[in-house]
Structure 1
Amino acid sequence: MDTRERMVGERAPWRPGNGLVAIPLAAIALIAVVDILSPPDVHLGPLLVVAPAFTAAFAGPRLTGLLGLLSVLTLVSIGLARGVIGTENLIVQISSLVALSLLLVVFCQVRERHEGEMTRVRFVSEATQRVLLPPLPEEAGPLRLASVYRSAEAGTTVGGDLYALARTSSSTRLIIGDVRGKGLVTLGATAMLTGAFRAAAHRQSALPELVAYLEGSVCWGLSEFTEGEGDIGERFVTALILDIPDDEPVLHLITCGHPPPLLLNPRRGAVPLQVDRPAPPLGLGSLSDTRYDAVTFPFQAGDLLLLYTDGLIEARDHHGAFYPLPERAARWSGQAPARFLERLWADLVDHIGSTPDDDIALIAVQRDAA
């Protein structure tokens, strides 16, 4: 369903749950018939409260109020049929049923208001993600790509992980990162870093110059967003920055404190692209004399490259065992990027036994054999 269709005030004309209204209607009819036919000392009228109570579980305040009114009218009809309409007992029963029906209507109104607020929150969250982290294109030059992003925060789609892509005249540049922090600081740093990358990555400057520019942007941005909030050493962004030429079977990589990417091939299996001397995370480079050197790795036609954040490799099963990424990912190294990420995510959820409790960003990149 499109996000716009989930906004408050736009409801589908029919809900599958509305078919359940036959159950309380049948209950009202059954209780009425049995009560009228029962001996004088047997009274089933109070059971009519079941109808509005059951309706409140799946319907809104209008339908719940309607079933409550129908229950009250049924109880009055039972009193007339049995000749006890003016008795104190029946008056108490009617009053109690009216009060309970009104309470159920109020409950439904409060619930609908809360659901409306949650719908608006989800809509804003999804719109924010589309601005900060739009899905990567399926193709970029000779590359085929797929991406997955899952936020650990309940009810949101934006977290502390980030990724972005930019094209130059002869290559594709990618960044994937993890902002250390939480709350608005994380979103501000994500917006700042992805914006800086998109603004500078399309230029023809060398990869080390691009990373140095991002380091300066992060240092400035984090000091602006988090001024007076703890030590600077606690604010940084781990990142991988890649440049993949269109006409060479290689990739150039700079690692800034981020987990190494995984190169997959049906013949060679899964190989982590380890860098001997990785640079410090972005935001910490100014604390020392940091030099950014790009490392070149083979990336041939048919190879699949997996970029990920640490939420993937730090996921544990109920025994405390970490997710064995190289072993599992090698099983699907021959798949297309989108299918590969589908299989990997399903296997991760199966390993954990539930959805992950940390932000996770995944990018699969494959060089087209053509």
Structure 2
Amino acid sequence: MSQARDHADAHTPSRPIRERVAPLRAFAHRRATAQLAAGVPVLPLLFVSVIVLVDLVGGAGMIWLSLLAAAPALAATTNGPRGVFCTGVLAAVLGVRLGIRDGVPASELAAVLSALAAVTLASGLASSLRGRRERVLAAVRSVAEAAQHALLTPIPETVGPFRVAVRYSAAAAEARIGGDLYALVSTPYGVRLIVGDVRGKGLPAVGTAALVLGVFREAAYDEPDLLDVVSRIERSLARNLGGDDFVTAVVAGYGQAGHLEVVNCGHAPPLLVRASGDVVPVEPTHPAPPLGLRALSGEVPSLQVLPFADGDQLLLYTDGVTEARNHDREFYPLAEGLARHVSEEPARTLDALHDELLTYVGGRLHDDAALLLLRKPAASRTATAGPPAPDPAASAPAVSGARVSGPGASDLVVRRPTGVGSNRF
């Protein structure tokens, strides 16, 4: 009795092992079945079945047998070389059986089989080349995704006192990256962000975007004044860009509780959404040239300080959004779309805007498009860290103040250097 009990106890641990192995075997079986189903040339088999059925019913013989050569060609569009050759062999076997059944002369049947063999070989080669191109494309897309994550660092949902959301679409869908840029960082001087658009497309535009973002992230931590951040980007671009290259951008910062600083360098005006739901474009009072062109125009950017209370939102975007057209060549009305879809969740707002934009243009954008929305939650009372920004109304003598009129801008203050000496090149 003791030996029997010991024998039973010795086998007891094997039961949990079997229970753990069984789900793994079932998963492996399902995976193998799925892979097998994915490799089966379904459409060519249906095509061959239809031809065989028609031949059996109508007995047309040579008329239908010649169509069997289309089966491996169809298999090449969806399957690998193995699926193509299996389809060709199946079509050849069925062709011989049907030819003998219908009394097709041997010479004609040989011609059909020769054509079928030639099409099968050509289709197998085409399928192999297609698979190689797909693997190369997958490798390129993986590199592009890595480059996008390195260039456009993912932004968390919460930065400082703000709720943030970003949506980015590159015109070159397979490349995943383009000439639009954005960044948002929390610094000792508050939360700072940039949204910009590089002139041109392709790798040169990506390189310029990387340069701008690198300088911005460095200067945002070093420079207490937002205008000095913009000046450092300008000097870097002046050294590295060609005469015809430039970058339009909006640089913003939240350094003082309740006030938002904005510097617009030839970019589309941001949209300010008040807690009441009113959408107001933040037009630059003193238009400044794009980054990289200051030396040609002599104009310097101005600093706008506007109230940014709890519940307010700011949308920054690129021209790929506002210049998107529908089939009637009408531009997308971004301000109206934002007013329709604005909510307390920036991510939900941008999801609705992005979906509406794609529907508006018919499913695909023809230019890079970036959207960045930040919202100050109504329940947040936390001011950003760092020294408080100077009161715009009590600026230094080298700075002039101006109050802007217009809807929603009664408290907007503009700060602009009065001398060229304040610009560092």
Counterpart of 1:239 in structure 2: which amino acid? A
Matched, 1:278 2:287: yes
Question: More displaced, 295-304 or 107-116?
Answer: 107-116
- Secondary structure of 2:183's counterpart equals strand
Matched, 1:199 2:237: no
Correspondent of 1:329 among 318, 338, 353 = 338
Deviation, structure 1 residue 308: 0.5
* CA separation of 1:89 and 1:317: change in aligned 2, threshold 3 A: closer
Correspondent of 2:268 among 237, 240, 259 = 259
**TM-score, scaled to structure 1:** 0.85
What residue is the counterpart of 1:269 in the other structure? 278
Write the mapping of 1:74-85 to structure 2, written as runs, cut at 5 A: 74-79=94-99
RMSD value, Cα: 2.7
Deviation, structure 1 residue 100: 1.2
Deviation, structure 1 residue 144: 0.9
Deviations 1:181-234 (A, max 9, x none): 233321221111101111121225211111111110111121xxx4xxxxx1x2
* CA separation of 1:210 and 1:34: change in aligned 2, threshold 3 A: closer
Distance (whole Å) between structure 2 residues aligned to residue 146 and residue 185 of structure 1: 27
Deviations 1:326-361 (A, max 9, x none): 222112223411111111112222322332211111
Deviation, structure 1 residue 259: 1.1
Deviations 1:301-337 (A, max 9, x none): 1111100111211222222322222222112223411
Aligned residue pairs total 348
Counterpart of 1:195 in structure 2: which amino acid? G
Question: Structure 2: where are the runs of 5+ without partners?
Answer: 1-30, 381-425
- Secondary structure of 2:222's counterpart equals coil
- Secondary structure of 2:348's counterpart equals helix
Distance (whole Å) between structure 2 residues aligned to residue 290 and residue 34 of structure 1: 79
* CA separation of 1:44 and 1:357: change in aligned 2, threshold 3 A: closer
Matched, 1:249 2:258: yes
Distance (whole Å) between structure 1 residues aligned to residue 176 and residue 62 of structure 2: 56
What residue is the counterpart of 2:247 in the other structure? 237
Matched, 1:61 2:61: no
- Secondary structure of 1:253's counterpart equals strand
- Contact 1:254/1:293 (CA < 8 Å) preserved in 2? yes
Distance (whole Å) between structure 2 residues aligned to residue 40 and residue 265 of structure 1: 76
Matched, 1:110 2:129: yes
Matched, 1:51 2:42: no
- Identity %, equivalent residues: 39
Write the mapping of 1:34-183 to structure 2, written as runs, cut at 5 A: 35=55, 44-79=64-99, 87-183=106-202
* CA separation of 1:99 and 1:354: change in aligned 2, threshold 3 A: same
* CA separation of 1:29 and 1:240: change in aligned 2, threshold 3 A: closer
Deviation, structure 1 residue 142: 0.7
Counterpart of 2:197 in structure 1: which amino acid? D
Matched, 1:308 2:317: yes
**TM-score, scaled to structure 2:** 0.74
Larger radius of gyration: 2
- Secondary structure of 1:301's counterpart equals coil
What residue is the counterpart of 1:219 in the other structure? 238
